[in-house]
Amino acid sequence: MKLFYLFLAVFSGHLLKRGPKLVNSDKVSFEISRAVDSDKVSFEISRADAFLIDKLSADDLFGKVLEYLHSDGPTRIDWLSIYDAPNLLFTDGTLRFSNNLQKRFDHVKSIHSKLVNSGAALKHDGTVVTWGDVDRLDSLQDQLKQVKAIYGAREAFAALKQDETVVTWGERQKGGDSSSVRNQLKQVESIYATDWVFAALKHDRTVVTWGASTFGGDSSSVRDQLKQVKSIYGTTALAALKYDDTVVTWGNDYNGGDSSSVQAQLKQVKSVYATDLAFAALKHDKTVVTWGDPNSGGDSSSVRQIGQTLEQVRSIHATYSAFAALKEDGNVVTWGRNGHGGDSSSVRNQLQEVKSIYATQYAFAALKEDGTVVTWGSNDYEGNSLSMRQNLQQVKSIYATQGAFAALKEDGTVVTWGNANYGGDSHQVQHKLTNVSHVKASKRGFIAEKKRPKNRYVMW
């Protein structure tokens, strides 16, 4: 709720004030003030973030600011741009939004932004505002009313309306064009999005797909099986878990779209997990079935070869190309691409009494019952925490972006490691990371809320 009020503050005609000049400061402070009263909330971001200035359009900056102040998982302010921005005024250290841009983003309910520089904002009145590389939707604005949810692929968006129909826009071959299934997109309950495909789950528990056919946009081969569907999973192929606890797959055959080799085992399935190119199904009897690209976790036979078993499994976690299974006894079993966390042999003796597991794209971190942390995977970045070992004691919880970890300790301090571009380097704001109550992670950065002083946040 605090972030929500910050959001309201900005869009009621308030200011973001910046501290010293970028080139001379180790950090840049943004202060958001409410005109109605004296309440203030201060943010501090690292100098590294500030140097990413002049790489985005004004609308992209606005969208990133919106995400930071409003979403549950704020997206890092990447590629900030405030110079030569027609809709932003930057004078005397004060950043103001033009009346035109501010009006467009008044009363925003939620923000959606993907890897390309584009986004969509859902307003409380059910209308939609878009920015960035995606078309402005002049031809569809009349249809983008009474929208209740927006879903984003890499280069396309889908809006679910109150009347349970769907409107799409963006890259035509990657989900932006749903004309081939338009007549089927009625009574839609929810939508699942990968980078290239959308799958709509209807109230009658059937599924409608569109987008890149190779990666699951064409589900005609399994249409008759896509009934009584409970949930959908996947990336470059899709898997539907049905109410009878069986699984139906389609999409790229090699990446898990073809599960014929294990179909007889895909019964009594509790949940499904996915790397980029493979799947793992956790069954009610706590055993695991895998399929898809063998190098990305689709082949778990290596587990048996080293004398381990995928039995009594409590949960499964995935990086880009590897899986980690946490067992009921607190031990951990891994398989998949070695450099992405599939090989945990160097820390196997330490992977005991594990409480929980966290994952970036290329590494895992295990939080143990004694408050210590074990990491493995990419040695270049987040999989190597050796330099932090002495500090990774009395850890309460761990958070992960796509390329870095942050550990919140019992004393309210935070320890980070991993790729600096994803939040792994917090040294420029480290002295501010005290009295932290909790941390939130997006794909590319972190935000920490402090207990004291009140309404203080630190971003990196």
Tell me the CA end-to-end span of the chain in Å, nearest whole number.
Answer: 21
Residue type present at position 215: F
Q: What is the mean pLDDT of residues 128-133?
A: 69
Q: Give me the residue spans of the domains in the chain.
A: 1-100, 107-218, 344-460
**Cα separation of 93 and 180, whole Å?**
51
- Across 178-202, average pLDDT: 96
Q: Given this chain, do its domains 107-218 and 344-460 carry the same CATH topology?
A: yes
Higher-confidence position of 444 and 332: 332
pLDDT at 255: 96
**Closest of 393, 431, 425 to residue 410, by C-alpha:** 393
359 vs 75, higher pLDDT = 359
- Asked whether the beta carbons of 364 and 341 are under 8 A apart, the reply is yes
For residue range 169-180, list pLDDT tens digits in order: 888 899 999 999
Domain 107-218, classified CATH 2.130.10.30, yes or no: yes
pLDDT of residue 307: 85
Strand partners, 147: 161
Segment 35-46, tens digit of pLDDT: 223 333 344 444
pLDDT of residue 49: 36
Look up the pTM and report it: 0.80
Query: Nearest to residue 296, comparing CAs of 252, 264, 327, 260?
Result: 252
Instruction: Please give the C-alpha separations between residue 35 and each of 11, 16, 30, 68, 459, in angstroms, as whole numbers.
Output: 11, 12, 16, 20, 24
Give the residue from 432, 351, 455, 358 showing the smallest Cα distance to 400: 358
Give me the mean pLDDT over the 124-150 stretch.
77
Q: What is the mean pLDDT of residues 390-415?
A: 94
User: What is the rounded CA–CA span in Å between residue 225 and residue 213?
Assistant: 18
Mean pLDDT of the chain: 78
Q: pLDDT class for 421, splitting at 50, 70, 90?
A: confident
Distance CA 62, CA 53 (A): 13
pLDDT value of residue 142: 81
pLDDT tens-digit readout, 282-327: 999 999 999 999 999 999 999 988 889 999 999 999 999 999 999 9
Model pLDDT for residues 204-259, shown as the tens digit of each residue: 999 999 999 999 999 999 999 999 999 999 999 999 999 999 999 999 999 999 99
Query: In CATH, what number does 344-460 get?
Result: 2.130.10.30
Could you tell me if 400 and 441 are in contact, meaning their C-beta atoms sit under 8 angstroms apart?
yes
Q: How far apart are CA 197 and CA 232, in angstroms?
A: 12
Q: Does residue 161 have a pLDDT over 80?
A: yes
- For the cut 90, the answer to whether the pLDDT of residue 77 exceeds it is no
Nearest to 151 by CA among 177, 180, 122: 122
Q: Which of 130-134, 243-247, 265-269, 283-287 has the lowest mean pLDDT?
A: 130-134
Q: What is the 3-state secondary structure (H, E, C) of the chain?
A: CHHHHHHHHHCCCCCEEECCCHHHCCEEEEEEECCCCCCEEEEEEEHHHHCCCCCCCHHHHHHHHHHHHHCCCCCCCCCCCCCCCCCEEEECCEEEECHHHHHHCCCEEEEEECCCCEEEEEECCCCEEEEECCCCCCCCCCCCCCEEEEEECCCEEEEEECCCCEEEEECHHHCCCCHHHHHHCCCEEEEEECCCEEEEEECCCCEEEEECHHHCCCCHHHHHHCCCEEEEEECCEEEEEECCCCEEEEECHHHHHCCHHHHHHCCCEEEEEECCCEEEEEECCCCEEEEECHHHCCCCHHHHHCCCCCCCEEEEEECCCEEEEEECCCCEEEEECHHHCCCCHHHHHHCCCEEEEEECCCEEEEEECCCCEEEEECCCCCCCCHHHHHHCCCEEEEEECCCEEEEEECCCCEEEEECHHHCCCCCCCHHHCCCEEEEEECCCCEEEEECCCCCEEEEC
**Whole-number Å distance between alpha carbons of 379 and 141:** 48
